[in-house]
Amino acid sequence: MTADPDVRDAVVPPPREKWPEPPPVTEDGEALTEVILTTFRLNALLMEAAQDLAVEGGLTAAWWQVLGGVLDQPRTVADIGRRMGMTRQGVQRIADLLVDRDLAEYQPNPAHRRAKLLACTEAGYWAIRRISIKQHPWAARIGAKVGADELRTALATMQKLVATLEADRPG
């Protein structure tokens, strides 16, 4: 079996002297790159904290994330994925585990016969309540160190970035 030439070209780089020059870095582009790199670090720290907190409810951070997508109302797996920034397949896998453990249940969807709604059960709400007993003081402690005004400014900037990136997506 021979390799596709396009794939091979991507893996075996040409000599450095033949590399194209990237466009110049702008101040805005440099600032965005720093935000992205810091976001990667922040995401890692938040996921570590979420994992530690989720244990209080007998969950994982990912299970907590999916349950969090249906605390206010039942949703389809696809809707949970969009809302929580997860793939539909990842949500489906976790949703099935949550249902198997009676933390969530599938309900009929009047708007779509095949796309059932995932809903939180009493056991799921209880797990979230147990997490919240630790999470609320943790959030208050971390929030107080940063300050509500700065956090609101960061949130507004993050929301603007999300909207800009979503609008910039191809297709």
Whether 44 maps to a domain, the answer reads no
Whether 19 maps to a domain, the answer reads no
Regions of the chain with pLDDT less than 70: 1-10
Whether 83 maps to a domain, the answer reads yes
DSSP secondary structure string for all residues of 19-41: SPPPPPPPHHHHHHHHHHHHHHH
Domains of the chain: total:
1
Distance CA 105, CA 87 (A): 19
CATH number of the domain where residue 116 is located: 1.10.10.10
- The pTM score is 0.82
Nearest 10 degrees: Cα torsion 127, 132, 135, 140: 170
Domain of residue 92, residue span: 58-131
pLDDT recorded at residue 1: 45
pLDDT recorded at residue 4: 56
pLDDT recorded at residue 8: 53
- Cβ atoms 84, 66 nearer than 8 A: yes
pLDDT in tens, 69-87: 999 999 999 999 999 989 9
User: E strand or H helix at 85, and its extent?
Assistant: none
What stretches of 88-147 show up as alpha helix (H) in DSSP? 88-100, 122-146
Whether 160 maps to a domain, the answer reads no
Whether 98 maps to a domain, the answer reads yes
pLDDT recorded at residue 11: 79
Whether 52 maps to a domain, the answer reads no
